[in-house]
Amino acid sequence: MRHGRWRFLAGALVPALVLHVVFVLSPYAQAFYLSLTDWTGVAGEARLVGAGNYARLAGDGLFLDAVRNNALLLAVVPLVTIALGLVLAGLLRSRRGAGGYQIVYFFPQLLSLVVIAVLWGFVYNPNTGLLNSGLRAVGLGGLARSWLADPVFALPAVMAVLVWSSVGFYVVLFLAAIDAIPGELYEAAKLDGAGAWTTFWRVTLPLVRETVQVAFVYLGIAALDGFAVVQVMTVGPGGPDGATEVIGLSLYRTAFTYGKFGYASAMGVALFFATLTLAVLALRAGRRERLELA
């Protein structure tokens, strides 16, 4: 019986492990190897350059601009999205007919990110776009500008699209987490004289902390990407003057425009470790908080 159980387990797990190695681990290993070469994407033997590609990254001005912009996205997009999601979820919890609002907020999730980028490109159009037309309609035409062509406003415009496209999902996610909180806790807080803000800060937020932590990891990964929105919306893309350059875009251009696949692989490996570090730090911080509370 024991041998039959092990055969069953091996038969169930080995095919899945083989597929995982071939289609997941193997591409990672190839990317790490290519990052140490000068491969141009053309069939032929790649020459090993060791850590030379990584040394080049430190002096690549466009790549450093991309790192800066991704860092700004990481600092702004998750925090704004989570804050808006929590506030809207808290407001919907006490409102009747909240299901209709959830559908409205969730609607952007039904659209692909490319479609969203195209639509917002029309909104930001300097001549016929909804944003500038609205400003002119209310007598604020002096604020109208070429949003995606202005180095000061181009990246915030991209951030706004990323927040708009994500916040609806996290409203629904946070609302589900809040609904799982026992109502007795809110009743006790009300009897103690706690106001809406105190109740949210002392009751709601601590009990949805794990959900917020997961949301931060996913939004952080999205902020470290940003490729699709920048590629579709911005001039260049990545412009103006590198104001919206992101690592994914630099990687794509380096590989498929300049044919420097080895150097592009080094960028990909750097992005991989940045994402891995973000996830590990976020998860460890959440675990430390749970241990302290225990």
Per-residue model confidence as pLDDT tens for the chain (294 residues)? 456 677 877 788 888 899 999 998 999 999 999 999 999 888 777 888 989 999 999 999 999 999 999 999 999 999 999 999 998 888 887 665 566 777 778 888 888 999 999 999 999 999 989 999 999 999 998 999 999 999 999 999 999 999 999 999 999 899 889 888 888 888 888 888 888 788 888 888 888 988 999 999 999 999 998 899 999 999 888 888 899 999 999 999 999 999 999 999 999 999 999 999 988 888 787 665 554 544
Q: Give the separation between CA 123 and CA 148, rounded to whole angstroms.
A: 11
CATH code for the structural domain at 54-293: 1.10.3720.10
Return contacts of 47-54, CB within 8 angstroms, 24+ apart.
Answer: 49/262, 53/262, 53/263, 53/265, 53/266, 54/266, 54/270
Cα separation of 182 and 211, whole Å?
16
Name the CA dihedral angle for 189, 190, 192, 194, rounded to a multiple of 10 degrees: 80
Q: What is the pTM of this model?
A: 0.87
